[in-house]
Structure 1
Amino acid sequence: MSDSSNEPDKLCRQCKRALPPTDFHRDRRRADGLAFYCKACANARSEASRRKRGISPQRKSPTPPGEGLKWCPDCEQIKPVADFPTTVSKASGRHSYCKPCHNARGKESAQRLYGGTREYHLRRRCGIGEKEFQELLAEQGGVCAICGGEDPQHLDHDHRTGWVRGILCFNCNGGLGQFRDSPTRLARAITYLRGTTWQRALIHPGVYQMCSPTRGRPPSPRS
């Protein structure tokens, strides 16, 4: 990597000054990896845009945070940078609000826009809401689509296409995930169980006999 001090100055499109690269925010979308405007002009343009949209001026910490620290505008506390969620959308790599405030804002938004976090997550992950969830559950008779267990709560969908497949209980939903939604793996698992588990065989009408497994080894006498 080349030393940034050896990089040529960049012309700011706003103030028309030739400034060192360190005076510009990073922008991976640009060929030179730098924003169009210097940091001072970018901040001024951001504040002007916020005022035009009726957003109150951005609050700043009355005391500049030290190294490795960050100020949260909601709780107005200076906390370690690790207390702020990570993000790739900001040059700092951290969200503006600390984790408790960030989570509280997310819950408030979900409640305001969707009526609750469940509706938000259903819409975001699977594209349906609680109303459609209950309609699908009624079509299944109120039970898990695989084992028939009561009160299933997990909405199953195809991870490749996003299509909703059904509503499953915790164990069945987790089982499909562990088998990676692969019919081949599930078929092999069935074959394996049939060869290692006692089976009930019909020998006369209404008469069954338990058959021993064809594979496997008996338990150790010392177990």
Structure 2
Amino acid sequence: MRRVFDLPSESDKKCPQCERLLPITEFHRNRRRADGLAYYCKICAAARSEASRRKRGIGPQKKASTPVPAGLKWCPDCDQIKPLEDFPRTKKASGRHSYCKPCHNRRDRETAQRLYGGTREYHLRRRYGIGEKEFQELLAEQGGVCAVCAAPDPEHVDHDHRTGWVRGILCFNCNGGLGQFRDSPVRLARAITYLRGTTWQRVLIHPGVYQMCSPTRGRPPSQRS
């Protein structure tokens, strides 16, 4: 009698730890691997992760005390079940962060305080590549005023959006103005031309009668005006 052996199919994979031949649905996705699947099955991967946490002195992973209904998510920090919209979005497979927005923000502040001494230092380092020390040095080189309008105590870092290089320290209005003009010298030059040459004026054309005129549009202003 011929013996029939179970041959592995393309939908199966062997876990090197438990040595079981399992369906690929029992493996997490991993785009960095050739087969697109994790090296270990889900059960073994969870056990290895838990063992690693114990070795590093990290406490047991928290779990919800009650089942989480579909469309909701449990936050390990505040131990509350909330709608998915209450969790920040992420590019991970789940689409949402592990912690709800208030807990996520609190953790961010604590991390910034621990690593950088405050959220401002973290913000400057992360976005512009400089710290508060470099900010103050650059501001001192400008004489403590806005690099454009010379207003005192500017607080906004201006940078080239194409290269990311820091250009100077500006006040709120000048920094926003450059952004509105898209950092374009051409647009700024046209704005200067507009302000100098097409400003409308109220011109007296008859006693008690005025007309809005421009030096380059419509009726030129009277010489007596």
What range describes the TM-score normalised by the shorter chain of this pair? 0.7 to 0.9
Instruction: Output one character per residue of 1:86-135: Cα deviation in whole Å (capped at 9) or x when no partner.
Output: 112x3312211111001001111111221111111011111111122122
Structure 1 residues 19 and 137: alpha-carbon distance in aligned structure 2, compared to 1, 3 A threshold = same
Q: Deviations over 1:141-197 (max 9, x none)?
A: 221101111221101112232221100011111111122222222223223333312
Q: Conserved in 2, the CA contact under 8 Å of 1:25 and 1:91?
A: no
CA distance in 1, matches of 2:16, 2:189: 63
| 8 Å contact from structure 1 (residues 85, 99) kept in 2 | yes
Q: Residue 7 of structure 1: CA displacement?
A: 6.8
Separation (CA, whole Å) in 2 of partners of 1:163 and 1:140: 17
Name whichever of 9-18 and 41-50 sits farther off. Answer: 9-18
Q: Is the 8 A contact 1:68 1:80 kept in 2?
A: yes
Residue number in structure 2 paired with 1:65: 68
C-alpha distance in structure 2 between counterparts of 1:185 and 1:50, whole Å: 57
For 1:165, give the aligned amino acid.
R
Pairwise CA RMSD: 2.5
Q: Which has the larger radius of gyration?
A: 2
1:125 aligned residue: 127
TM-score, normalized by length of structure 2? 0.80
In 2 relative to 1, CA 216–143 (structure 1 residues): closer, same or farther, beyond 3 Å? Answer: farther
Q: Compare 90-99 and 16-25 and name the one that shifted more.
A: 16-25
Residue 40 of structure 1: how far off its partner (Å):
1.2
Q: Runs of 5+ in structure 1 lacking a partner? A: 1-5, 200-210, 219-223
The answer to whether the Cα contact below 8 Å between 1:28 and 1:34 also exists between their aligned partners in 2 is yes
Matched letter for residue 82 of structure 2: K
Q: Which residue of 2 aligns with 1:19?
A: 22
What residue number does 1:207 align with?
none
Which of 189, 194, 201 is residue 192 of structure 1 equivalent to? 194
Q: Quick one: which amino acid aligns to residue 65 of structure 1?
A: V
Partners in 1 of 2:83 and 2:10 — Cα distance? Answer: 32
**Alignment partner, residue 105 of structure 1:** 107
Aligned to 2:152, what secondary structure does the other structure show?
coil
Among candidates 162, 172, 182, match of residue 170 of structure 1: 172
How has the CA–CA distance of structure 1 residues 215 and 154 changed in structure 2, closer, same or farther, with 3 Å as cutoff? farther
In 2, distance between residues paired with 1:160 and 1:52? 45
User: Percent identity between the aligned chains?
Assistant: 82
Please list, as runs of the form range in 1=range in 2, the aligned pairs for 1:22-101 lying within 5 A after superposition.
22-88=25-91, 90-101=92-103
Aligned partners of 1:196 and 1:216 also within 8 Å = no
TM, length-normalised to structure 1: 0.80
Give, in angstroms, the shift of residue 216 of structure 1. 7.2
CA distance in 2 between counterparts of 1:18 and 1:72 reads 35
Measure, in 2, the Cα distance between the counterparts of 1:196 and 1:100. 52
- Tell me how many residue pairs correspond in the alignment: 201
Counterpart CA distance in 2 for 1:216 and 1:51 is 82
Closer, same or farther: CA 198–48 of 1 in aligned 2, 3 Å:
same
